[in-house]
């Protein structure tokens, strides 16, 4: 997979984070996304949003504003 999410903890040193991101992008060719420590992956959350939006449109329901 091209996309990789990285979560830094409160004890993660900025230089370690930067070195890892540089390695992931440069050596492995990954697209790196900064994420918070929450359940589910960003890609899944975005995908589910669009799936649910499509279902609402197909059934005539309107998503909450």
* Residue whose entry in the numeric block shows the structure tokens 């929450």: 38
Q: SS3 for 31?
A: strand
- pLDDT at position 9 is 87
Q: Encode the chain (65 residues) as per-residue pLDDT tens digits.
A: 788 889 888 899 999 999 999 999 999 999 998 887 766 677 777 778 888 888 888 888 766 65
Q: Are 43 and 16 in contact (CB under 8 A)?
A: no
Does the predicted model carry a pTM greater than 0.85? Answer: no
């Amino acid at each position: 997979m091209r996309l990789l999410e990285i979560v830094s903890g409160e004890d993660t040193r900025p230089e370690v984070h930067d070195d890892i991101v540089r390695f992931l992008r440069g050596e492995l060719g990954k697209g790196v996304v900064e994420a918070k420590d929450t359940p589910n992956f960003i890609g899944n959350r975005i995908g589910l949003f669009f799936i649910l939006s499509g279902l609402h449109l197909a059934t005539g329901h309107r998503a909450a504003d």
